[in-house]
Amino acid sequence: MDSLDAQRKYLVTCSESLILSHGQGPGLDLVEKETDPQQVVMVNLSCLLLKNLDNVGSCRSLRVCILADNFISTIDALIACVHIVKLDLKGNQLDRCIPSVFQITQLPGVVFWDSLRRLQLLHLHDNNIGTRKNIEGLSGCPNLTALTLYDTPLSLKGNYRHCIINSIWSLKALDNFVVSDEEIIENWILPLHFKSLCHHFYLNLYPAAKMGPYQSEMRAIHKIISEVNRIQSVYSPTLIIQRWIRGHLTRKSSLTAHNHLSFLMYSVSWCFTEMLSVFILSDLSLLCRDRRGSASESICPPSPLWRQTVNRPRERHGSKSAQLNSTCRFGPPIISLHPAM
């Protein structure tokens, strides 16, 4: 007990000054430190012998949180950091002779993870997480894309990947391997090209890189997410079939829209032509009547046949007028929108 008390004295509380000294703001200047915790967007508190996260909740704008290699046993204070995109909790355990009071053995429930709606990368490897019940709350994290749980007692159990993947529906990568369709659908045998844990699906989710500015860290996160999506789009039969079907439906809808547009243009031009012909016939009839009224009977006596024809334009254009009335009533001829097979 004395040994435990002696080791506890070396552990550090996460104070506000510690956060400000190891945090970064949204600017590019790494020398000038933030003075307001609410403006901190990235904090690197790894290897600082932390025993709690008491003041991390004041960082309301936090997006990248690095808490690796500490002695943290609970992370409930992070529930206020709703903008977190990456959370690193790797290696939060003491030596085996120390009780598990300083180890992350049980993660928060669904309510906690549901508040972190922007979280995409979560590192939990090298912790003392032993059962599925310890992480069942992760199913409430709506956008969790990549998760690391290797080097934990849970990762040594059989059917571990299948259970984790089907518990977290948004998960696309687990322990440096992108999720394959074979792991989602149980007992589905796929060709070697699409098999799970194949070298095609390998992706290092925890690269050993020196911590840079906030902008470079966000670019690294987006690069990992983009690579996960690229691998799935190439080596997932389900996504390939969905892509083919979407392309077929898009081309089909585009062709249908093109046919409807062509029919509409044809209808407009047809109506314009028919209306123009009606106006021409009407103007011609009025012109003939004016000429008949103004012309002298003695100079240009109209013939009875000419008068009869001018006064009765419907008879002169009987067949065309009948066709015009018929088509004006019922619209243009119906044209099939689908090409003949």
153 and 13 in one domain? Answer: yes
**Local confidence band at 103 (pLDDT 50, 70, 90 cut-offs):** low
d(CA 303, CA 290): 16
Q: Of residues 136 and 304, which shows the higher confidence score?
A: 136
132-152 pLDDT tens trace: 888 889 999 999 999 999 999
193 and 75 in one domain? Answer: yes
**Local confidence band at 179 (pLDDT 50, 70, 90 cut-offs):** very high
6-48 pLDDT tens trace: 566 788 889 999 999 999 988 756 556 677 888 999 999 999 9
Give the three-class secondary structure for 78. helix
Asked if 38 and 60 touch (Cβ cutoff 8 Å), the reply is: yes
d(CA 136, CA 110): 8
Position 113 scores a pLDDT of: 95
Is 278 a residue whose pLDDT tops 50?
Answer: yes
**Local confidence band at 255 (pLDDT 50, 70, 90 cut-offs):** low
195 and 59 in one domain? Answer: yes
Select from 84, 83, 228 the least CA-distant residue to 170: 228
Position 65 scores a pLDDT of: 96
Position 329 scores a pLDDT of: 39
169 found inside a domain: yes
Structure tokens of 110?
A: 């669904």
Helices within the chain (DSSP H only): 2-8, 16-21, 110-115, 160-167, 181-184, 214-235, 237-294, 304-311, 313-316, 318-330
Domain coverage including residue 324: 257-330
220 and 175 in one domain? Answer: yes
Asked if 120 and 145 touch (Cβ cutoff 8 Å), the reply is: yes
249 found inside a domain: no
175 and 317 in one domain? Answer: no
Position 73 scores a pLDDT of: 84
143 and 88 in one domain? Answer: yes
44-60 pLDDT tens trace: 999 999 988 988 989 99
pTM summary value: 0.70
197-242 pLDDT tens trace: 999 999 999 998 777 888 999 999 999 999 999 999 999 998 988 8
Position 289 scores a pLDDT of: 58
